[in-house]
């Protein structure tokens, strides 16, 4: 499967085309002409059919917008190629070259997929994407089976699917704001409420988050807690937004300030100390060395955020709690090495 979409001035992607291939056929589905997606949603939910994508996160969003569901189960060929020691995280053109030895044209990547009729070049490009994707999937299954890594791929694709689930709970969005950890706990609660408001409003208006209010403005609002429209201006909120949403924002701030501290979220973790940072570098070297041995990208083996969470769980005296992602195949490949290094820290 693949999707083509446009997303320049909207929150939700505007689907222009959905491509599907199986062993015998390639299909181009025109989302501009379909109102009932129930049968296609049933296919996406069919547990007996693997849905193959390349770099699937944005395709998940398109599928959810069209059908209300995301595909399951899935196989992501970008991840599969990395686990198959074919190179780092690669685009589809490189994948086809690495797996099938073919050079394909990607000249229509930035086409206007909402125009009708589609040009012949667009149609050929769209068909080729899923035609070769199906072949790449079959080859990757053979390669990873031979390497005894097919279960690795299945495990990580399940994690991708879980991470891609769309939720109406926006209470964790504030964690993505840069330097949010610098705010005091009560200020973090104000930031949390403002981020929830932004998520709901951008979806309602179907505009990008930054078109409504930028991250740094939300941070300023949380830190200085404006009480008047003039205060919102000094925080960086634009005039048209103050006029349309200023009173609503001030009410949210006032309500958040009045809430008891029992409702505040757990304070965000500060960056690791300098001493802990030294050990983080040691852990990263261990991961890099092991990744070179098994010939996969170090970031696929263990991400930096995972190592940070591991250190925070017990530094400096332990015990340490291994994040869930370090279970499964990673447990046998890297956890023993990390455990030995953490034992040295405790000592």
> Which residues are tagged catalytic?
2, 4, 59, 125, 129
* Polymer length in residues for the chain: 347
Residue 260 burial (C-beta neighbours within 10 Å; 0-12, 13-18, 19+): exposed
DSSP annotation of 303 reads: -
H or E element that contains 4 = strand 2-6
Q: Which two structure tokens, joined as six digits, stand for 7?
A: 């997303």
The alpha helices in the chain, defined as continuous H runs, are 38-45, 57-67, 77-83, 92-100, 120-146, 150-163, 185-205, 209-212, 215-224, 229-235, 239-258, 274-294, 298-301, 304-312, 329-330, 336-346
Closest CA to 332 of 303, 294, 306: 294
Distance CA 77, CA 97 (A): 13
Q: Phi, psi (5° rounding) for residue 2? A: -155, 160
Closest CA to 334 of 308, 307, 302, 295: 302
DSSP annotation of 197 reads: H
């Amino acid at each position: 499967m693949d999707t083509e979409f446009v997303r320049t001035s909207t929150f939700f992607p505007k689907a222009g085309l959905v491509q599907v291939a199986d062993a015998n056929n390639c299909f181009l589905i025109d989302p501009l002409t379909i109102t009932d997606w129930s049968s296609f949603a049933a296919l996406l939910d069919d547990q007996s059919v693997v849905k193959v994508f390349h770099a699937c996160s944005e395709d998940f969003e398109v599928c959810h917008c069209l059908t209300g569901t995301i595909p399951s189960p899935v196989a992501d060929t970008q991840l599969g190629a990395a686990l198959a020691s074919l190179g780092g995280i690669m685009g589809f053109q490189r994948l086809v070259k690495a797996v099938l030895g073919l050079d394909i044209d990607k000249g229509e990547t930035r086409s206007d997929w909402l125009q009708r009729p589609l040009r012949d070049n667009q149609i050929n490009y769209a068909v080729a994407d899923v035609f070769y994707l199906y072949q790449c999937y079959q080859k990757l299954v053979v390669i990873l089976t031979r390497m005894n890594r097919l279960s690795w791929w299945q495990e990580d694709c399940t994690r991708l699917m879980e991470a891609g689930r769309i939720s109406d709970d926006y209470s964790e969005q504030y964690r993505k704001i840069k330097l949010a950890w610098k705010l005091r706990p009560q200020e973090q609660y104000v930031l949390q409420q403002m981020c929830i408001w932004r998520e709901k409003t951008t979806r309602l208006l179907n505009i990008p988050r930054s078109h409504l209010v930028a991250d740094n403005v939300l941070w300023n609002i949380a830190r200085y807690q404006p009480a008047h429209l003039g205060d919102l201006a000094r925080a960086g909120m634009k005039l048209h937004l103050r006029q349309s949403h200023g009173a609503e924002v001030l009410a949210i701030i006032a309500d958040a300030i009045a809430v008891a501290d029992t409702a505040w979220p757990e304070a965000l973790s500060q960056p690791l100390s300098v001493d802990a940072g030294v050990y983080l570098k040691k852990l990263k070297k261990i991961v890099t060395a092991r990744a070179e041995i098994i010939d996969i990208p170090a970031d696929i083996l263990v991400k930096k955020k995972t190592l940070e969470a591991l250190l925070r769980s017990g530094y400096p005296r332990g015990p340490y709690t291994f994040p869930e992602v370090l279970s499964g195949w990673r447990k046998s490949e890297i956890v023993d090495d990390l455990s030995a290094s953490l034992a040295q820290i405790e000592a």
